[in-house]
Structure 1
Amino acid sequence: MASKQLLVLAGDGIGPEVTGAALMVLDALSHTAGTAIEVKEAAIGGAAIDQTGSPLPESTLQLVDKASAVLLGAVGGPKWASGPRPEAGLLNLRRHMKLWANLRPFEIFPGLEDRSPLKNAAGVKGLFIRELTGGAYFGEPQERGGEGEEAWALDTMIYHRYEIARIVRLGFQLAEEAGVPLTSIDKANVLESSRLWREMVNELHQDFPGVPVVHRLVDSAAMDMVLHPHEFKVVVTENLFGDILSDLSGGLVGSLGLLGSSSVSGVAGTPGLFEPVHGSAPDIAGKGIANPIGAMLSLAALMRWSWQEPEWAMKVESAVKAVIADGLRTPDLGGHATTEDVVNGVIKNLGN
């Protein structure tokens, strides 16, 4: 394995703790393999605001451009409720890196079935593919006007064919690799942008005739994710729906602390942004009890996607599952284990 350049953006709250835990796992793995990893760190979010006044300073962007992958902790917190928003740093980073797909796997791990609200939790496993650059989050205009009872607010949900085509094509590719249907979620009975979305899915289906397609409306899909979660194997959807439903998947598995994510440009082997899906959790920051599993699984995704090292990724994932099966649980999972306990357990299981 050639030398890799990793940029760590620890961010705010528990971000430094969980990225630090992931780096310990990486160090143990690279040491065993005799491989050098060049790790650099930079500021983002609230920490960057405190240092430079900007949630994404130019000095950070310069290091981003040189890295083969970026591992992020978390951004935000009540300290920055006014003035520049830490979250703007993350949105601008995705835009700078030209990332348009967010991959968020979810799985109820053996040994954690009791943490899920589902009656039949065993075997639930799937992947959300969320479009990142279009929809209501980025449509223009976004504005407010009027006064008093006539005051109004406007958001614009807009999608271009190329934005839909590239994310849907990626969805078909990943469903084909997994040998499962592609579930597409929209609101085509109401929204014009969703009607275009569904048209594009049907059009691209011609290039993947061996992959069954299931169209679902977002409201009924949310209900079915709770009632029939095993049906959702590979799911592709637009920005707003993906943001909401992928967090719902966190509720199904028992804790957002168990989920990692990848923001990529759709081509494996290219730089991406990898981060746990939990927030900065300022209420537990510095207490040493943050769940680092989401950050570790994000590291595994980084190894598989940007570094093209699936064997390393599988070692991390297997070690995480072994620790969970052994009953080691942080407080968010109803246990008393510390962040350090999880790190030590994962490192111990790396060679198994």
Structure 2
Amino acid sequence: MTTVYTVDSIPGDGIGREVVPAAIRCIDEVARIEGFEVTWRERDWGSDRYLADGAMMPADGIDQLADGDGIFLGAVGQPGIPDHVTLWGLLIPIRRSFMQYVNLRPVRLLPGVEARVSGAEKLDAVVVRENVEGEYSEIGGRAYDGRPEGMAIQQSVFTHAGVSRVAEFAADLAVRRSGRLISATKSNGILHAMPFWDEVVEETVSRSGTVELESVLIDALAARVVLRPDSIDVIVASNLFGDILSDLLAAVAGSIGVAPSANLNPPREHPSMFEPVHGSAPDIAGKGIANPVGQMWAGALMLEHLGEEQAAKRLVIAFEAALADGIRTADLAGTASTLDFTEAVIERLRSAAR
């Protein structure tokens, strides 16, 4: 009996509408080869819906997604709408409603991609970012808007449960890789939250017994990512620090356009969501030149999460082969269009399956 997965597709805004269909074509092809199916439920949620109806998604949007096997997101954001409106109207509610508390962001130098800094040739790292609390908190407010006394208060939230579960996930990952784990901190300047983070991470990781934990101040770690990228393996970081570090690592590895992201609910009590790290890129939207690798790689992470590991490997091998053969989009100093690259990946999937 053929296994059928139900996945909600949310292309969203800008280049999301171009790279999501491209990645779906490749996923459908590898599913055909491996003998399973994906039923796609496309959601036209995003900024256009906000402009028409005043909301990025329907009031019952979370309920509509709840019975799916995964969520495949493109990009969120459009000029003219504040970013906090678009993100807090779609992306962040999904992450929090489904307790996707791990944001997994692998990064490595892909074949055929030129390293931006020395040492990036050996870069193969994973950022494990805490995804539902930390600095991205809803607690706070504003007062005296429009007056000289105007003020804003933003509270960070670090719970023992939140820090320990993401540290445990990162430690388990480190055990399967090099055994080395870096914890991003700023405990010399952030008086309460970061020493607490350090204590809980150390307590949690110590239970693994085999992981070598290194706690590094975020400013020094940012410099190390650029100066010694090959010294990085697994990083565990708070919501804000993980967000910044993963983008920096992606740039070091050649382009933010190739970086994937998995928003995971590790207990699998709710669907997980998969997306590229890049944004909606309104400056190139509609030109047909967006790089679909980040979306394809996110699709491979989704297939792996669904248990289709061989399909995930096939997809990664195919887009890596296309890159190695010199087929690259403009952000990687190439001339291929989104369609050109997609066709090249599908051709390699079919050739490898013959």
Shorter-chain TM-score: which interval?
A: over 0.9
In structure 2, the partner of 1:40 is 41
- Provide the rounded CA distance (Å) in 2 between the counterparts of 1:325 and 1:268: 35
3-state SS, counterpart of residue 80 of structure 2: helix
What is the correspondence of 1:15-54 to structure 2 with a 5 Å cutoff? Answer: 15-54=16-55
In structure 2, the partner of 1:303 is 303
Q: Which residue identity does 1:251 align to in structure 2?
A: A
Q: Is the 8 A contact 1:185 1:221 kept in 2?
A: yes
- Provide the rounded CA distance (Å) in 2 between the counterparts of 1:34 and 1:310: 13
3-state SS, counterpart of residue 136 of structure 1: coil
TM normalised by structure 2 equals 0.93
**Quick check: 1:333 aligned with 2:318?**
no
Q: CA RMSD in A?
A: 1.9
In structure 1, the partner of 2:98 is 97
3-state SS, counterpart of residue 350 of structure 1: helix
- 1:104/1:51 Cα in 2 relative to 1: closer, same or farther (>3 Å)? same
The runs of at least 4 consecutive aligned structure 1 residues that moved more than 6 Å come to none
3-state SS, counterpart of residue 138 of structure 1: coil
- Provide the rounded CA distance (Å) in 2 between the counterparts of 1:36 and 1:134: 35
What is the correspondence of 1:1-352 to structure 2 with a 5 Å cutoff? Answer: 2-81=3-82, 85-88=85-88, 89-112=90-113, 114=114, 116-138=115-137, 140-145=139-144, 149-191=148-190, 192-267=192-267, 271-305=271-305, 307-351=306-350, 352=352
3-state SS, counterpart of residue 183 of structure 1: strand
Give how far 1:15 is off.
Answer: 0.7
3-state SS, counterpart of residue 43 of structure 1: coil
3-state SS, counterpart of residue 267 of structure 1: coil
Q: Is the 8 A contact 1:42 1:60 kept in 2?
A: no
Give how far 1:133 is off.
Answer: 1.4
Give how far 1:173 is off.
Answer: 0.7
3-state SS, counterpart of residue 120 of structure 2: coil
Q: Which residue identity does 1:223 align to in structure 2?
A: A
Which consecutive unaligned segments of at least 5 residues does structure 2 have? Answer: none
- Provide the rounded CA distance (Å) in 2 between the counterparts of 1:198 and 1:152: 30
Q: Is the 8 A contact 1:269 1:308 kept in 2?
A: no
For residues 8-39 of structure 1, give each alpha carbon's deviation from its aligned partner in whole angstroms, at most 9, with x where no partner exists. 00101111110000110012112223422211
Q: Which residue identity does 2:8 align to in structure 1?
A: L
- 1:90/1:128 Cα in 2 relative to 1: closer, same or farther (>3 Å)? same
- Provide the rounded CA distance (Å) in 1 between the counterparts of 2:95 and 2:242: 16
- 1:248/1:183 Cα in 2 relative to 1: closer, same or farther (>3 Å)? same
Give how far 1:205 is off.
Answer: 2.4
- Provide the rounded CA distance (Å) in 2 between the counterparts of 1:273 and 1:162: 21
For residues 260-288 of structure 1, give each alpha carbon's deviation from its aligned partner in whole angstroms, at most 9, with x where no partner exists. 10001223696210001111111211111
Number of positions where the alignment pairs a residue of Structure 1 with one of Structure 2: 348
TM normalised by structure 1 equals 0.94
**Most deviating of 295-304 and 120-129:** 120-129
Q: Is the 8 A contact 1:141 1:155 kept in 2?
A: yes
Q: Is the 8 A contact 1:268 1:308 kept in 2?
A: no
Give how far 1:149 is off.
Answer: 4.7
Q: Is the 8 A contact 1:142 1:156 kept in 2?
A: no
- Provide the rounded CA distance (Å) in 2 between the counterparts of 1:48 and 1:274: 21
Give how far 1:228 is off.
Answer: 0.9
- 1:269/1:111 Cα in 2 relative to 1: closer, same or farther (>3 Å)? farther
For residues 218-240 of structure 1, give each alpha carbon's deviation from its aligned partner in whole angstroms, at most 9, with x where no partner exists. 11100111111111111001011
Q: Is the 8 A contact 1:45 1:85 kept in 2?
A: no
Which consecutive unaligned segments of at least 5 residues does structure 1 have? Answer: none
